[in-house]
């Protein structure tokens, strides 16, 4: 493990200072890819808390992935993040969008389900695949004379994976998770650290209350601001994202997903819903409502979590719709490149 200062000794003293740092920081991530291994874990890694965070993600797998999808759609509204993704041409077509976001979902799923010290080091393979993609994007932009990925962009992206869980768990069917949040907080501290987010920028702070407060500021003053007045490219990009995700789950509906994203952010989605989108929305809200109810909630979680696991297994092994519509070559997912 690395011998460094504790993350809490490096982070800004207050949430307000941390947020101002996020707004003003122009530090870029390292364009040079370097593999991480178990030896790169920080001294402050806590196995018990880490596993508690993983357990929360697997126990509530359906709504965790739903929150992640909405989070990813929300952060795309941030111009700096959208610019990098548009420039990388990773969403130029629906097949490319499908590959990009399926890889992201499958990598995050691997982090949730895999033992950190598993013999095959799958957990670190997933982390390194993500690191490699980020470093590659930064290097290519620098070669063009553009800025690389900023540390603040990485930190705001971290919000996409944790923000709604901390801020509106009741809208995700996760009303009884308070005892797990310290583990979830630490889990994402470690993920952020190993992805190259500097300790001072990492938005998972010392206490749940501070992390929640910082997430609230990011949501209200960055995410909501840009969702209310999105970049002209935003809707085009998001449309390709939702179309790509449809090939994983044919029940995904563009307007329903955007409605839920805006709702989680505390905003009203202004476009009227079609009858199908409305019914799709009510179905999803009903599942979420049942997800955390006494007795029946456990059964609902077990069933829908298993559906998610089977769906992701199908994406990897038998992606029938992409095979038919894209062809076998174009649908192939390179989850763990030979780095």
Classify residue 302 by burial, with Cβ atoms within 10 Å: 0-12, 13-18, 19+: exposed
Per-residue pLDDT, 320: 82
pLDDT digits (tens), the chain, 339 positions:
655 789 999 999 999 999 999 999 889 898 899 999 999 999 999 999 999 999 999 999 999 999 999 999 999 999 999 988 877 666 567 888 888 889 999 999 999 999 999 888 999 999 999 999 999 989 988 888 888 899 999 999 999 999 999 999 999 999 989 999 999 999 999 999 999 999 999 999 999 999 999 999 999 999 999 999 998 889 988 999 999 899 889 999 999 999 999 999 999 999 999 999 999 999 999 999 999 888 899 999 999 999 999 999 999 988 888 888 777 655 567 788 887
Would residue 266 count as lying in a domain? yes
User: What are the tokens at 284?
Assistant: 């999803």
pTM of the full predicted structure?
0.94
Quote the tokens at residue 283.
């179905």
The pLDDT, as a whole number, for residue 328 is 61
DSSP structure class, residue 39: G
Nearest C-alpha neighbor of 202 from the set 55, 71, 6: 6
Whether residue 336 is contained in a domain is answered as: no
Q: How far is CA 60 from the centre of its chain?
A: 15
**C-alpha distances in angstroms, 278 versus 65, 242, 253?**
21, 17, 10
What per-residue confidence (pLDDT) applies to 4?
72
**Is residue 264 a part of any domain in this protein?**
yes
Instruction: Tell me, yes or no, whether 335 lies in a domain.
Output: no
User: Among residues 294, 289, 322, 316, which one has the least CA distance to residue 304?
Assistant: 289
Task: With beta carbons less than 8 A apart as the criterion, state whether 246 and 94 touch.
Answer: no
- Between CA 23 and CA 124 the distance in angstroms is 30
Is there a domain that residue 210 lies in?
yes
CA pair distance 228, 135, nearest whole angstrom: 31
pLDDT at position 66 is 95
Q: How many domains does the chain have?
A: 1
> Residue 87: how many CA atoms within 13 Å on its side-chain side?
20
295 phi and psi angles, rounded to 5 deg:
70, -70
Q: Would you give the DSSP letter of residue 44?
A: T
Distance of CA 322 to the CA centre of its chain: 23
Distance of CA 177 to the CA centre of its chain: 19
Q: Whole domain around residue 101: which residue ranges?
A: 7-326
Q: What is the 8-class DSSP label of residue 222?
A: I
The answer to whether residue 298 sits within a structural domain is yes
Task: Kindly state whether residue 273 falls inside one of the protein's structural domains.
Answer: yes
Residue 200 lies in a domain: yes
């Amino acid at each position: 493990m690395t011998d460094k200062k504790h993350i809490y000794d490096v982070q800004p003293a207050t949430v307000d200072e941390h947020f101002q740092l996020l707004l003003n920081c122009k530090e870029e991530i390292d364009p040079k890819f370097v593999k991480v291994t178990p030896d790169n874990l920080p001294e402050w890694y806590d196995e018990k808390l880490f596993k508690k965070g993983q357990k929360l993600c697997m126990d509530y797998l359906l709504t965790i992935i739903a929150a992640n999808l909405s989070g990813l759609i929300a952060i795309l509204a941030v111009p700096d993040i959208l610019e990098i993704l548009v420039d990388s041409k990773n969403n130029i077509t629906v097949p490319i969008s499908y590959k990009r976001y399926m890889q992201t979902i499958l990598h995050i799923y691997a982090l949730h389900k895999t033992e950190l010290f598993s013999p095959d080091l799958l957990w670190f393979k997933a982390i390194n695949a993500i690191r490699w993609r980020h470093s590659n994007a930064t290097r290519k932009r620098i070669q063009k004379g553009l800025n690389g990925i900023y540390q603040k962009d990485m930190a705001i992206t971290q919000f996409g994976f944790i923000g709604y869980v901390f801020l509106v768990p009741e809208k995700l069917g996760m009303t009884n998770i308070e005892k797990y949040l310290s583990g979830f907080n630490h889990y994402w501290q470690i993920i952020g650290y190993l992805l190259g987010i500097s300790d001072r920028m990492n938005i998972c702070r010392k206490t749940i209350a501070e992390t929640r407060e910082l997430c609230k500021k990011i949501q209200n003053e960055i995410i909501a601001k840009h969702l209310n007045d999105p970049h002209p490219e935003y809707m085009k990009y998001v449309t390709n994202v939702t179309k790509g995700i449809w090939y994983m789950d044919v029940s995904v509906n563009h307007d329903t997903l955007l409605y839920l994203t805006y709702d989680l952010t505390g905003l009203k989605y202004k476009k009227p819903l079609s009858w199908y989108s409305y019914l799709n929305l009510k179905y999803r809200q009903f599942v979420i409502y049942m997800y955390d109810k006494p007795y029946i909630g456990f059964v609902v979680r077990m069933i829908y979590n298993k559906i998610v696991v089977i769906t992701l297994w199908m994406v990897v092994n038998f992606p029938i719709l992409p095979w038919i519509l894209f062809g076998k070559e174009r649908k192939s997912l390179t989850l763990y490149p030979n780095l």
